[in-house]
Amino acid sequence: MSADTTNEGVILIVDDTPTNLEMLFDFLALAGFKVLVAEDGESAIERAEYAPPDLILLDALMPTMDGFETCRRLKANKLTKDIPVIFMTALSETGDKVRGLNLGAVDYITKPLQHEEVLARVQLHLRLGNLTKTLQEQNQRLEQEIQQRHRWEEKIQEQAALLDITTDAILVQDLDNQILFWNKGAERVYGWTAEEAIGKNVLRLLYREALCDIENPSELVAECGSWQGELRQVTKQGQEVIVATRWTLVCDEQGLPKSILTVNTDITEKKQLEAQFLRAQRMESLGTLASGIAHDLNNALTPIMMTVQLLETKLDDEQSQEWLSILETNVKRGADLVRQVLLFSRGLEGQRTNLKVEKLIAEIEQIAKQTFTRAIEIHTELPTQNLWTICGEATQLHQVLMNLCVNARDAMPEGGNLEISATNLWVDESYARINLDAKVGPYVVITVSDSGIGISREIIDKIFEPFFTTKELGKGTGLGLSTAIGIIKSHGGFVNVYSEVGKGTEFKVYLPVTQTRETDCIPADHHELLAGHGELILVVDDEDSIREVSQTLLETNGYRVLVASDGIEALAVYTQNKEEIKAVLIDMMMPSMDGPTTIRVLQKINPQVKIIGVSGLVSNHKLIELVGSSVKTFLPKPYTSHELLKNLQAVLNSEQ
């Protein structure tokens, strides 16, 4: 209700006296109000519920339902409780007036009514009512704003909590590279708390060097609004991490750049696994190539070796014997080179025994101290508790550690520190997950570290490849580390290398604590062999030259020989002559039907068959796994005439 001369508002007059109703109706209508009338309390309540007025003038004394009861019911009804009520009464008792006010009336007017007083009180209470409504509306809007603000604050808190829960490092930097925001993920990735990081220059904090091609992030992001890529950064502890980073330009309300939002995901573990996987793929490819070459070379060297020894019995003159000796020596050198390649590609196994790592390290230390320059200080560090016992081929592991020590020596031409240490380590699932060749279980870790020139990041993934070397021409073959990795893998282990240019290199050799089965190996000696007595031998090989030379050698030494060029032909020949054939000399790698398959079929034909396995690739342990105990002995190519005859004699004399 405004204070203007033109009043607006709806007034309900309740009075049982028609004269009073008529007088007030005319007066208030003339004053500009819309007037409603009711002659009793019941009809007043009904009208008020149906169309709530802005104010009610209520007579206190009425029959049936007086004004006090009417007021009480109006105030008890949620539809009418907020309507201002002014009592009209001829009662002068203070108690009646107090009773009316206690029931919720806002005022009272004493009869006889004075028009000016009525108008003044009506206008006053309408203004108060309007003010109350305005205040209520404002309070309601304020409550809504407060609730909205609470919702915003809760949402902001939820978002902040999500930012802290995420494992990603999230930070905000201004255009001068000063850090403005640093979440919990950044604390976990880098090690600095928010208090330590905020206000620092991000380039000086997270990078050892400049960003290389990305020297000014703000300019780069300003060009397109965002950028993503991979970066190498450092932690508080000085460790290098690789992150997948996404930069987004943040603008103010005017659209002007004000900061850069950066989200970094730590992919160090992923990149390590990728590098290991790619290296494993590359090594597998090279290993396959090396195996193929080694197989062909062994097949070529075998008939040469046996032919030389056949010629030694035919040519008696001194010069021929000298030439044949030179030829035999060089064939053996070629066979040793092939063996070294096989150590890289497949890890040939020798005789395994239980080994004490302390003794192995002591032997290496002694050799190094006797042969290395005194400018290199050599230290060993072993744990106070006993190291676990490993099972392996001592000569091969000796070769691995000696190779690592020699490489360390060559990396320190001006001298330095060489340290050999060992410790027990239980590899858990988390560690095995980031090392492709690792398995959960106990390992002995041998560490060879130096303070030399180090290995650059560009070539560190290539150092285990065969024929790769950084040494000068003539000072390295590039087979040392590739052979070492082959030996370690054949022992079920793996290698990790850590290096920093100018600070040195550290090789960690992980050898599992496992027991391996010993295999029967017929030792070679050089006593005079007894010739055969006409025993029938089946020679199975897909190489014509090997079949021919083997047949000649065996027939020269008193055996009868049948030959077959593959497994299918061998089964046919054996089936026709199984009662006479005393032993089968069989190659493991053949077309049509390979050696292991042929052996299994031969066993079904004759469970007592005596077999000598021959291969230029498959080790003794692998052969036993493939074909079982029916293979009496194993001949690695190339083999000598003496080795063939000795093993054949042992097999023929063995009991099934």
List residues bridging with 425 in a β-sheet.
443
Nearest to 186, CA basis, from 203, 201, 207, 172 = 172
Q: Is the same domain home to 551 and 643?
A: yes
**How wide is the angle at C-alpha 348 spanned by C-alphas 522 and 365, nearest 5°?**
100
Two structure tokens written together for 106: 């806002």
Q: Is the same domain home to 362 and 498?
A: yes
Q: What is the pLDDT of residues 199-208, one digit of tens each?
A: 888 888 888 6
Q: What is the pLDDT of residues 362-390, one digit of tens each?
A: 888 888 888 888 888 999 988 877 888 88
**Which string of DSSP letters, residue by residue, matches 387-411?**
PPPEEE-HHHHHHHHHHHHHHHHHT
Tell me, what's the pLDDT at 522? 42
Two structure tokens written together for 424: 């027990």
The whole-chain average pLDDT of the chain stands at 80
Q: Is the same domain home to 461 and 543?
A: no
Tell me, what's the pLDDT at 559? 92
Of 287 and 350, the one with more pLDDT: 287
Which pLDDT band holds residue 165 (cuts at 50, 70, 90)? low
Q: Is the same domain home to 394 and 492?
A: yes
Q: Is the same domain home to 374 and 503?
A: yes
Classify residue 255 as left (phi > 0), alpha (psi -120 to 50) or beta: left
- pLDDT of 197 above 80: yes
Q: What is the pLDDT of residues 18-49, one digit of tens each?
A: 888 888 888 888 888 888 999 888 888 888 88
Residue pair 100/71 in contact by the 8 Å Cβ criterion: yes
| HSE-up (13 A, CA, CB side) for residue 14 | 31
Of 151 and 629, the one with more pLDDT: 151
With H, G, I as helix, E, B as strand and everything else as coil, classify residue 126: helix
Identify each DSSP E strand in 403-486 by its residue range.
Answer: 416-427, 441-450
Of 502 and 527, the one with more pLDDT: 502
Output the CA–CA distances (angstroms, integers) from residue 340 to 319, 444, 486, 512, 550, in the order listed. Answer: 32, 25, 9, 23, 25
Helix (H) or strand (E) holding 87: strand 85-89
- pLDDT of 215 above 50: yes
Asked whether residue 637 is assigned to any structural domain, the reply reads: yes
Q: What is the pLDDT of residues 226-246, one digit of tens each?
A: 888 888 888 988 888 888 888
Of 425 and 156, the one with more pLDDT: 425
Of 249 and 94, the one with more pLDDT: 249
Proportion of the chain above pLDDT 90, given as a percent:
9
Buried b (16+ CB within 10 A) or exposed e, 462-501: ebbbbeebbeeeeebebbbbbbbbbbbbbbbbbbbeebee
Of 481 and 276, the one with more pLDDT: 481
Q: Is the same domain home to 363 and 233?
A: no
Two structure tokens written together for 210: 């400049």
Asked whether residue 525 is assigned to any structural domain, the reply reads: no
Average confidence (pLDDT) over 108-135:
84
Q: Is the same domain home to 333 and 257?
A: no
Asked whether residue 640 is assigned to any structural domain, the reply reads: yes
Give the range of the structural domain holding residue 387, as residue numbers without chain letter: 353-512
Average confidence (pLDDT) over 293-306:
76
Tell me, what's the pLDDT at 279? 65
- pLDDT of 576 above 80: yes
Domain boundary among 117, 137, 157: 137
Of 619 and 315, the one with more pLDDT: 315
Tell me, what's the pLDDT at 643? 82
> Rounded CA gap, 586 and 334, in Å?
23
CATH of residue 203? 3.30.450.20
CATH of residue 580? 3.40.50.2300
Tell me, what's the pLDDT at 446? 93
Helices H, strands E: what count in the chain? 20, 22
Of 100 and 476, the one with more pLDDT: 100
Average confidence (pLDDT) over 101-107:
84
Q: Is the same domain home to 261 and 284?
A: no
- pLDDT of 298 above 80: no
- pLDDT of 189 above 50: yes
Q: What is the pLDDT of residues 467-495, one digit of tens each?
A: 556 555 444 444 567 778 878 888 888 88
Asked whether residue 151 is assigned to any structural domain, the reply reads: no
Nearest to 297, CA basis, from 118, 538, 546, 107 = 546
- pLDDT of 333 above 90: no
Residue pair 478/464 in contact by the 8 Å Cβ criterion: no
Q: Is the same domain home to 115 and 188?
A: no
Asked whether residue 379 is assigned to any structural domain, the reply reads: yes
Proportion of the chain above pLDDT 70, given as a percent:
80
Tell me, what's the pLDDT at 539? 92
Asked whether residue 152 is assigned to any structural domain, the reply reads: no
Tell me, what's the pLDDT at 133? 83
Question: Which are the contacts of 306, defined by CB distance < 8 A and separation ≥ 6?
Answer: 549, 550, 553, 639, 640, 641, 644
Sign of the dihedral through C-alpha 381, 385, 388, 393: positive
Domain boundary among 303, 320, 343: 343
Q: What sections of 1-114 are H helices per DSSP?
A: 18-30, 41-50, 67-76, 94-102
Domain boundary among 296, 321, 343: 343
Which pLDDT band holds residue 524 (cuts at 50, 70, 90)? very low
Average confidence (pLDDT) over 433-454:
86
Asked whether residue 577 is assigned to any structural domain, the reply reads: yes
Lowest mean pLDDT among 138-142, 289-293, 397-401, 506-510: 289-293
DSSP 648: H
Lowest mean pLDDT among 71-85, 144-158, 279-293, 460-474: 460-474
The number of domains in the chain is: 5
Average confidence (pLDDT) over 517-540:
62
Tell me, what's the pLDDT at 516? 43
Q: Is the same domain home to 558 and 649?
A: yes
CATH of residue 450? 3.30.565.10
Q: Is the same domain home to 220 and 246?
A: yes
- pLDDT of 536 above 90: yes
Q: Is the same domain home to 280 and 260?
A: no
Asked whether residue 599 is assigned to any structural domain, the reply reads: yes
**Which string of DSSP letters, residue by residue, matches 210-229?**
--TT-S-HHHHHHHHSEEEE
> Rounded CA gap, 5 and 382, in Å?
107
